[in-house]
Amino acid sequence: MSTTTPLRQRMIEDMKLRGFSPGTIRQYTYHIEQFARYFHLSPAKLDLEAVRQFELHLLVEKKLSPESVNQFVSAAKFLYLQTLEMPWNDTDFPRAKRPHKLPAVLSQEEIVRFFENVPSLKYRAALMLCYGAGLRVGEAVRLKTSHIDSHRMLIHVEQGKGHKDRYVMLSPCPLDLLRTYWRAARPTGDYLFPSWRTNTHLRENSLRSACQDACRQAGIRKKVTVHTLRHSFATHLLEAGADLRVIQVLLGHSSIDTTTRYVHISPLTVARTKSPLDSAIIPKPKR
């Protein structure tokens, strides 16, 4: 599917109609282009067996991660079920199985060390909102000054993942840091964390790099990303006794099933759970 075909254009239009982000549109069109080039045919002339063969090619020969392979599967499913309207089902597009790994979570002590090693006020404030309010990296960098409601102690997350708005808490600690940052930086324009480019926000990769640098300086050896701060936010809330449905709303999860994975992440929750052996009356061994 070349860059000028009507099929490519129709697929892009279908994705725009459904509110797909520009990043997702780029990923999906890239995967379908690679699929077409592999067989030297238009995807309209290919079938489910071709999808299966290309998935195996990506997994076995190209040795791509299951996540990358599943991106192709999602793109192919959209193309055939939505754009081409083929009489197939979701089950006709099996996904590569991903190994079940628990994401890293920072302890409270590691959180303190982490923020002590973020020298920039701008980056520290943005990263603190990722931990203190559970924001995604994209949500943090796109925050606008008008989104901060210091009177009600709320942050308005506008058009987060899935094009959904939500409110999250603004606790005193990040608010104090935001005020210090504001007095020092005096950011102009709409964005709370502007880029050096006019009318643009801080880039996500810049925040990711600041996160990695802070981890190295703090001597944290866990595999940490900005998203780790969001995981830690949810896990620490759970450990403090917060209701799972409240955590669901704060994180912006559509399904409670997505939020329940934090039950499996929290080692403190596991440690606090009593074994049935504690209630059993077992005679002491005779000496």
Instruction: Let me know if 201 is a catalytic residue.
Output: no
227 is catalytic: yes
d(CA 235, CA 251): 11
Residue type at position 138: G
Sign of the dihedral defined by the CA atoms of residues 43, 48, 53, 58, in that order = positive
Task: For Cα atoms 229, 232, 236, give the angle at the middle one, nearest 5 degrees.
Answer: 145
How far apart, in Å, are the Cα atoms of 182 and each of 57, 65, 125, 126, 191? 51, 42, 10, 12, 12
The one catalytic residue in 147, 230, 231, 236 is: 230
Active site residue 161: yes
Q: List, in order, residues 6 or more apart from 173 with CB less than 8 Å away.
A: 128, 132
The residue annotated as part of the active site, out of 31, 136, 147, 201, is 136
Do 25 and 97 contact (CB within 8 A), yes or no? no
Q: In whole angstroms, what is the distance from residue 272 CA to residue 267 CA?
A: 9
169 DSSP 8-state letter? E
Which one is catalytic: 57, 208, 227, 261? 227
Q: Is 131 a catalytic residue?
A: no
Active site residue 264: no
- Considering only CA atoms, which of 269, 273, 272, 270 is closest in space to residue 237? 269
Annotated catalytic residue within 52, 95, 161, 203: 161
Both tokens assigned to 187: 């950011």
User: Residues with catalytic annotation?
Assistant: 136, 161, 227, 230, 253, 262
